[in-house]
Amino acid sequence: MTARMDVLLGAQWGDEGKGKVVDVVAPDYDIIARFQGGPNAGHTLIFDGRKHVLHTIPSGVFREGTVNLVGNGVVIDPVTLVKEIRDLEAAGVDVRKNLLISRRAHLILPTHRALDAASEAEKGVGRIGSTLKGIGPTYMDKTGRNGLRVGDLELTDRMERYQALTRKHERLLALHDRPGAAPEASEEWLTAIETLRTLQLVDSEHYLDQALRQGKRILAEGAQGTLLDIDFGTYPFVTSSNTVSAGACTGLGIAPTRIGKVIGIFKAYCTRVGSGPFPTELSDATGERIRQVGREFGSTTGRARRCGWLDLPALHYAVMINGVTELAMMKADVLSGMSDLRVCTAYRVNGQVTDRMPYDISSTIEPVLEPVEGWGELRADRPIPTGLQHYIGLIEQHVGVPVKLVSLGPDRDQTLLRDKTLVN
């Protein structure tokens, strides 16, 4: 029997702490593979007193011997990638040896970023709150069959292809009444693709197939979160890729029959960055407290994240869509010491109570909040306090899968494994 690929992904609106969990479980895997998104992601890892934020490179990069693959479903900004490599090298990490890039991954051009900015500006108050990294326009070119792929950089006519796409973008930018990307941005991009060409470019679907046949263990690392999925998220306030587990199949070229565990990461509360509906949002001092204690500011854009209570119908939805087999709960420590904790167990939609996520979760839906017992200080060398045990029990009862890991702080060491089968 061949080995299987596990998937780890966000079960909320992103920023759940996926990078930390990947880093904790990475020693169990031979390969960590990103399957969607791009530099809109910011996966934060903290160990040995240092903080690292990864945007494109998978979070296995700090583990000796782990192969890190950027899959075909990812959109790559060469400038960000090269900068990330340089920063890691400066921190003493030998990145290039174990970094593989899919030839089928699409490239973000400077003009994609300009188009992102133009589109957001035109939307005005209805803007998505995009990270402005060029994600939407790049995926539009992919599905529109105009995109430039990493593999194209190996072709002799790569410059012609680049120029043709740039010209098309300039025509679009003129329609938006916006000039194109600054010449220095293009210069920087062209320099970065020369470095990208020196990296290990692979046909990742074949590489991963062979790895599985050899019994290697693969972890697919999701970016953003389920509720930002292009199909199942809170459209149109979503990102442009499939962040759900099915995205790991198309974003890596792995058949659904080869998926093993699906690990869903969620925070003990909810956050959202950018615009869009957020039923349990707290626009008061409690929300501000969570933001300050949880340091809820974007790792990619620095924006303040909106904060609110844990939303169980939304989490249940994420478990269903992704086929989550186990959960990891992050940042339980942020709620320590709070006496007025609440959790959303259902929604009230047009006067009817439902635990189903409706088509439209705009302001017309009202969260049904239940008070829950709080807990005090959490430490990895002490048993889980009763209040937190009850909280976990309530979650498991609602969503029907076990919470196997509880994170008590940003460091690798501040992690409690409730069930050792999460790592094996």
* Active-site annotation, residues: 15, 43
Transcribe 201-259 into DSSP letters.
EE-HHHHHHHHHHTT--EEEE--S-GGG-TTTSSTTSS-SS--SHHHHHHTTT--GGGE
- Nearest residue to ligand IMP by CB is 274
Name the helix (H) or strand (E) containing 319. Answer: helix 312-322
118 binds ligand IMP (CB under 6 A): no
131 binds ligand IMP (CB under 6 A): yes
Instruction: Output 306 or 398, the one with its CB closest to ligand IMP.
Output: 306
> With the CA atoms of 183, 187, 193 and 196 taken in that order, what torsion angle do they form, in degrees rounded to the nearest 10?
-120
Sole window of 133-141, 251-259, 306-314, 350-358 interacting with ligand IMP (rule: CB under 6 A): 133-141
230 binds ligand IMP (CB under 6 A): no
Identify the residue among 99, 153, 228, 399 touching ligand IMP (CB under 6 A).
228
User: What phi, psi does 13 have (nearest 5°)?
Assistant: -105, 30
Identify the residue among 223, 249, 265, 330 touching ligand IMP (CB under 6 A).
223
384 binds ligand IMP (CB under 6 A): no
224 binds ligand IMP (CB under 6 A): yes
Contacts of range 406-409, beta carbons closer than 8 Å, 24 or more positions apart = 406/328, 406/329, 406/332, 407/17, 407/20, 407/21, 407/328, 407/329, 407/330, 407/331, 407/332, 407/333, 408/332, 408/333, 408/378, 408/379, 408/380, 409/333
Task: Find the shortest distance in angstroms from Cβ 386 to ligand IMP.
Answer: 33
> In whole angstroms, what is the distance from residue 127 CA to residue 120 CA?
5
Sole window of 127-135, 140-148, 342-350, 358-366 interacting with ligand IMP (rule: CB under 6 A): 127-135
Instruction: Output 130 or 325, the one with its CB closest to ligand IMP.
Output: 130
> Contacts with ligand IMP: how many residues (CB under 6 A)?
19
Task: Find the shortest distance in angstroms from Cβ 15 to ligand IMP.
Answer: 5
Footprint on this chain of ligand IMP (rule: CB under 6 A):
14-15, 40-42, 128-131, 133, 135-136, 223-224, 228, 237, 239, 273-274
